[in-house]
Amino acid sequence: MRSGGPLVGLLVALVVVGGGAAAGAPGRCTTSTPVKAYAKCIALPTQGATLAWTYDARNATLDAAFTGSFISPSGWVAWGVNQDAPAMAGARVIAAFSDPSTGALLALPFVLSADVKLQAKPLVSRPLDIPLLASSASLIAPARTVRDGASVTIAATIRLSPNRTRVHFVWNRGLYVQGYSPTIHPTDASDLASHATVDILTTATESSPIASARLQWAHGSLNALSWGLLLPVGAALARYLRPCASAGPAWFYGHAAVQATGYALGAAGFALGIAMGAASPGVTYKLHRGLGIAAATAGSLQTLAVFFRPKTTNRYRKYWKSYHHLVGYGCVVVGVVNVFQGFEVMGLGASYWKLGYCMALATLVGGCVALEVNAWVVFCRRQHEEKLMRREVEDVVVKDRAAAF
- Residue 255 is assigned to a ligand binding site: yes
Q: 63-72, 302-311, 393-402: which has the minimum mean pLDDT?
A: 393-402
Check whether residue 143 and residue 225 sit in a common domain. no
pLDDT band at 340 (very low <50, low <70, confident <90, very high): very high
Check whether residue 218 and residue 311 sit in a common domain. yes
Helix %, strand %, coil % of the chain (to 5) = 45, 20, 35
What one-character-per-residue DSSP string does 112-179 give? E-HHHHTTSS-------SS-EEEEEEEEETT--S--TT-EEEEEEEEEPPTT--EEEEEEEEES-EET
Size of the chain, expressed as the number of residues it contains: 405
- Residue 195 is assigned to a ligand binding site: no
Residue 374: how many other CB atoms lie within 10 Å: 11
Residue 310: how many other CB atoms lie within 10 Å: 13
Backbone angles phi, psi at 202, to 5 degrees: -110, -10
Check whether residue 190 and residue 252 sit in a common domain. no
Q: Residue 43: which CATH number?
A: 2.60.40
Separation of alpha carbons 13 and 94, rounded Å: 8
Domain count, the chain: 2
Domain finish residue from 183, 204, 225 = 204
Check whether residue 189 and residue 318 sit in a common domain. no
CB distance 260 to 234 below 8 Å: no
What are the tens digits of pLDDT across the range 244-285? 777 778 888 999 999 999 999 999 999 999 888 877 665 667
Check whether residue 341 and residue 259 sit in a common domain. yes
Check whether residue 146 and residue 291 sit in a common domain. no
Backbone angles phi, psi at 320, to 5 degrees: -65, -40
Helix residue spans in 280-316 (DSSP H): 286-306
Check whether residue 237 and residue 341 sit in a common domain. yes
The answer to whether position 101 is within a domain reads yes
The answer to whether position 380 is within a domain reads no
The answer to whether position 370 is within a domain reads no
What are the tens digits of pLDDT across the range 33-64? 877 889 999 988 888 888 989 998 888 888 88
Strands 14-16 and 61-68: parallel
The answer to whether position 269 is within a domain reads yes
The answer to whether position 223 is within a domain reads yes
Separation of alpha carbons 346 and 162, rounded Å: 42
- Residue 288 is assigned to a ligand binding site: yes
pTM of the full structure? 0.58
Which domain range does residue 231 map to?
Answer: 211-348
CB distance 170 to 195 below 8 Å: yes
The answer to whether position 366 is within a domain reads no
Which SS3 state, helix, strand or coil, does residue 343 take?
helix
Q: Residue 236: which CATH number?
A: 1.20.120.1770
What are the tens digits of pLDDT across the range 284-332? 678 899 999 999 999 999 999 888 889 888 989 999 999 999 999 999 9
The answer to whether position 139 is within a domain reads yes
CB distance 168 to 4 below 8 Å: yes
Domain finish residue from 348, 367, 390 = 348
Domain finish residue from 204, 235, 263 = 204
Check whether residue 90 and residue 232 sit in a common domain. no
CB distance 135 to 13 below 8 Å: yes
What are the tens digits of pLDDT across the range 107-129? 899 988 877 765 667 888 888 88
The answer to whether position 1 is within a domain reads no
Check whether residue 106 and residue 231 sit in a common domain. no
Separation of alpha carbons 228 and 357, rounded Å: 9
- Residue 324 is assigned to a ligand binding site: yes
Check whether residue 330 and residue 185 sit in a common domain. no
Q: Which of 302, 230, 217, 214 is nearest to 266 (CA)?
A: 230
